[in-house]
Amino acid sequence: MENITENTQPQNTIELNGRGIHYITEMRKWTLFLSIVGFIGLGLMIIGGFVMVFFSGMLPGEEIGPITVLPLMLIAVIYFFPVFYLYQFSSLSKRALLFNDTNLVSEALKYLKMHFKFMGVLVIILLSIYIIVGIFALLGFSMLRSSMTIT
């Protein structure tokens, strides 16, 4: 029988010098600030949605139903993940620098990668939607223009 080992090659290590630690410390502070502002924005979105539904019954005219607020809540759910990833990066990198722990630095960088990956996919989706809407707008405009010239 053959004896199989998982990884027989030595792992490479990366050490941070003073500038690298300074940059991570500075990034950590900014990501903490942005995540706190993001969580506040999320809270305001959710509270705003509930206020819209609650107070819409007091206004004359049609009521705003929960279905109307659904897009706002969907945006809040989507917005939660990148904000959470930023907060996790900030929290883990602070602990990593405090305890000088390479594994925590790796874990923190994983969350920063997840943040940028999520934002990148979101941008691709939004650009695709913009392109599709633009194509339909051009088609609609050309159909409208051609119907106006015939009559």
Is 145 within the bounds of a domain? yes
- Given this model, what pLDDT does residue 31 score? 97
pLDDT in tens, the chain (151 residues): 445 555 555 567 778 899 999 999 999 999 999 999 999 999 999 998 888 877 776 666 666 667 778 888 999 999 999 999 999 999 999 999 999 999 999 999 999 999 999 999 999 999 999 999 999 999 988 888 887 765 5
CA angle at 48 for the pair 75 and 33, rounded to the nearest 5°: 65
Is 4 within the bounds of a domain? no
Is 100 within the bounds of a domain? yes
Instruction: State the amino acid at position 113 in one-letter form.
Output: K
Structure tokens of 50? 């509930």
Is 97 within the bounds of a domain? yes
Please state, as a whole number, how many other Cβ atoms lie within 10 Å of the Cβ of residue 60.
4
- Given this model, what pLDDT does residue 60 score? 66
Is 87 within the bounds of a domain? yes
Is 7 within the bounds of a domain? no
- Given this model, what pLDDT does residue 107 score? 96
Q: How far is CA 117 from the centre of its chain?
A: 9
Count of the separate structural domains present in the chain: 1
Model's pTM, two decimal places?
Answer: 0.79
Is 11 within the bounds of a domain? no
| Structural domain boundaries, residue 71 | 18-150
Is 55 within the bounds of a domain? yes
- Separation between Cα atoms, residue 148 and residue 129, nearest integer Å: 28
Q: How far is CA 112 from the centre of its chain?
A: 11
Q: How far is CA 69 from the centre of its chain?
A: 20
Cβ pair 85, 112 in contact under 8 A: yes
